[in-house]
Amino acid sequence: MVVRLRFAPSPTGYLHVGGARTALYNWLLARRHQGSFILRIEDTDISRSTEEAIQAIMEDLRWLGLDWDEGPEVGGRHFPYRQTGRYALYRDAAMRLLRDGKAYPCFCEPEELAERRREALKEGRSPMYDRRCLSLSEAEREARIRSGIPYALRFLVPEGEVTFTDLVRGEITFRNRDIEDFVLLRSDGSATYNLAVVVDDLDMEITHVVRGDDHLSNTPKQILLYRALGAEPPAFAHLPMIVARDGRPLSKRHGDVSVGSFREKGYLPEAMVNFLALLGWSLDDSTTIMDRRTLIENFSLERVSSKPAVWDEDKLLWMNSQYIMALGDRELAERVFPFLVRAGLVKDDDQKAFEVLLKATPLLRERIKVLGDAVHLVRFLFQEVDIEDDARTVLEDEVSERVLREAGKGLLELKEFTAPHIETTLREMAERLGLKPRQAFQPIRVAITGRKVSPPLFESMELLGRERCLQRIARAMESL
RNA sequence: GGCGCAUUAGUCUAGUUGGCCUAGGACGCCGCCCUCUCAAGGCGGAGAUCGCGGGUUCGAAUCCCGCAUGCGCUACCA
């Protein structure tokens, strides 16, 4: 069997990490079994859906490397891939159910229903729809329809129960009497979510529905719909939610968890994918770093955990640093460069600046966890320094002036201005002055980079060049 | 209120059919080494009576029952 999986976000906002993981698992499964991965936009809620959100979601998916075989911008046999425009399909299905006596019109007004719900809840009863419109006589029903009273279409939930095997959690049973006659078509004629997904998944021949845990309770309704439409339901798998440390669902309160924000901070998509994959799934008892290929070859729903995963940004950060360390010089420089541009340190097309960055890359690699970290580490290479306040105290030490003066002299006389020579000279100087390396080098570091923390001093100096090093040392002395 | 799902260290998890678990790996944390700062790296360490209470069994994190807690659904939202 050719598997077909889909990711069906509703474009009411950006893509967050939970959605990204759902998309990833679907994609992984599709790739693993040489099936299709479909992107479908669930914009039935027109008032909350935006075009920007659709674009942003697609951009984030592409950044993660989750390409879709069918969907917006790539097309496919089941066009269109957003629910707006598929109304006819939903209506046809609904009308078929109505004709078959599996659905019925409901004339109750929303306000009235809400009121009844409140009452039921207050009295401790289940707030289920009481089916009052089901008992309307045929004549009465006709009369109301003819007089133009707006009505919704409700699904007539049959008796019995629904049992299905969730690929993650096993067998689950719901009693139909706990399910109310839910609305299929709103009184304005639009389809509700439960009708739309079923019709779409059916039409798009989806074989596996892999989605968040929050849809588990919707599943029996959808299975009932499949049966009523005379179709076989797909396989279902419900992923545990991703929650914050306090155990609550991730939300804005817990910081920015949009995929885009991680991209902007300088996380690598491959690290993101690796980390996301491990949030609820594991290969074995010890493997943590896995490339895309390994993921594809090994991913399976059987090894998906059923308990909620806590979003642990510390671990993501560590993982990102692992991926950064594995990058080659040029590759890393190319990825870092745009961050320098954005920080205003260099111009987009500054080839010379890129070459400088490329040479600095080996000094950076083990010192940054996200690409954005590079900015403050290499700033001194592209900008005159402004000595930071807490670095100032280093210069206030009484030995500083002597160190800077001697260093300046030594460097001036240096034949070759390269890291090894600089190091030899400065170490000799330190010894001459009876100073520990740290005492001798910190003032120089501050003078050169403006900060107490920097890439290795001697290499940094070589990169900067003798001229500018001497200038900075002189300037630091003046400021004393 | 009803229904459903979940419960191994601060965190991600391993633990597929009960014994090889004196519960394994990773992040984080602590200490030492290395060292021009910061990292990276090396070595070592603390941290879980497997939510609680019963039961089945020679033997349970693993099976059964109950309870508690958390989360989800219970919309003419998705």
Q: Is residue A222 predicted with pLDDT exceeding 90?
A: yes
**For the ranges A44-53, A373-382, A409-418, A455-464, which has the lowest average pLDDT?**
A44-53
Give the C-alpha separation, A69 to A474, whole Å.
Answer: 62
Measure Cα distances from A194 to A88, A184, A197, A433, A438 in Å. 16, 7, 6, 80, 67
- pLDDT tier for residue A249 given thresholds of 50, 70 and 90: confident
CB < 7 A to strand B: residues 369-398, chain A: none
**Nucleotide lying nearest to A438, CA to C1' measure:** B36
Q: Which residue is nearest to nucleotide B25 (CA to C1')?
A: A286
pLDDT for residue A151: 95
Place of tokens 């074989």: A207
Phi, psi of A152 (to 5 degrees): -100, 165
Q: Are A264 and A371 in contact (CB under 8 A)?
A: no
Angle at A48 between CA A46 and CA A50, to 5 degrees: 80
pLDDT classification of A46: cutoffs 50, 70, 90:
confident
Instruction: Give the CA A241 to C1' B5 distance in Å.
Output: 11
> Is A184:A192 a contact under the CB 8 Å cutoff?
yes
* The nucleotide closest to A246 (CA, C1' atoms): B70
CB of A130 within 7 Å of some strand B atom? no
Catalytic residue positions of A, numbered: 252
Is the confidence at residue A250, as pLDDT, over 90?
A: no
Cα–Cα distance, A399 to A129 (Å, whole number): 83
The secondary structure element, H or E, covering residue A155 is: strand A152-155
More confident residue, A247 or A210: A210
pLDDT given at position A73: 94
Closest-approach nucleotide to residue A322, Cα vs C1': B40
Model pLDDT, residue A119: 86
Output helix, strand, coil percentages for chain A, rounded to the nearest 5: 55, 10, 35
A183-185 vs A170-175, strand pairing mode? unpaired
Report residue A374: phi and psi, to 5°: -65, -30
Residues ≥6 apart with Cβ < 8 Å to A440: A399, A403, A407, A426, A429, A430, A433
Nucleotides of B under 7 A from a protein CB: 1-8, 10-16, 24-28, 35-41, 70-78
pLDDT band at A66 (very low <50, low <70, confident <90, very high): very high
Rounded distance between C-alpha atoms, residue A315 and residue A260, angstroms: 18
Please give the Cα distance from A28 to A65 (Å, whole number).
Answer: 11
Tell me the backbone φ, ψ of residue A106, rounded to 5 degrees. Answer: -125, 125
Q: What is the pLDDT of residue A226?
A: 97
A248 touches strand B (CB under 7 A): yes
More confident residue, A285 or A355: A355
- A152, A106 in Cβ contact below 8 A? yes
> Quick check: A432 and A407 in contact, CB under 8 A?
no
pLDDT band at A57 (very low <50, low <70, confident <90, very high): very high
* Lowest mean pLDDT segment, chosen from A48-62, A98-112, A113-127, A285-299: A113-127
pTM, two decimals, is 0.94
Contacts 24+ apart (CB under 8 A), A340-344: A340/A374, A340/A375, A340/A378, A340/A382, A343/A375, A343/A379
Q: DSSP strand E in A202-297: where?
A: 208-212, 235-239, 242-243
Q: Which residues of A301-319 are buried (b: 16+ CB within 10 A; e: fewer)?
A: beebeeeebebeeeebbeb
pLDDT of residue A396: 85
Q: Which residue has the tokens 């929303």?
A: A110
What is the per-residue pLDDT across A273-319, written as a single tens digit (0 to 9) for each? 999 999 999 998 889 999 999 999 999 998 999 899 999 999 999 99
Q: Please state whether A277 falls in left (phi above 0), alpha (psi between -120 and 50) or beta.
A: alpha
Helices of type H across A65-211: 87-99, 110-122, 138-146, 193-203
pLDDT of A219: 95
* Residue A340: DSSP 8-state: H
Q: What is the pLDDT of residues A162-185, one digit of tens each?
A: 999 999 988 888 999 999 999 999
Q: Of all residues in chain A, what percent carry a pLDDT higher than 70?
A: 100
The reply to whether ipTM tops 0.90 is: yes
Given strand A183-185, what is the order of strands in its sheet? Answer: A103-106, A152-155, A183-185
Average pLDDT score over chain A: 93
Q: Note whether A239 and A19 are within 8 A (CB).
A: no
Could you check: is the Cβ of residue A458 within 7 Å of any atom of nucleic acid strand B?
yes
Positions 30-59 in A, CB within 7 angstroms of strand B: 42, 44-45, 48
DSSP per-residue string spanning A364-417:
HGGG-SSGGGHHHHHHHHHS-----HHHHHHHTSTHHHHHHHHHHHHHHH-SS-
Place of tokens 């940054």: A368
- DSSP state, residue A73: T
Residue A121 pLDDT greater than 80, yes or no:
yes
Residues in contact with A164: Cβ distance below 8 Å, sequence separation at least 6, in sequence order? A171, A172, A219, A220, A223, A233, A236
The answer to whether the CB of A266 falls within 8 A of the CB of A288 is no
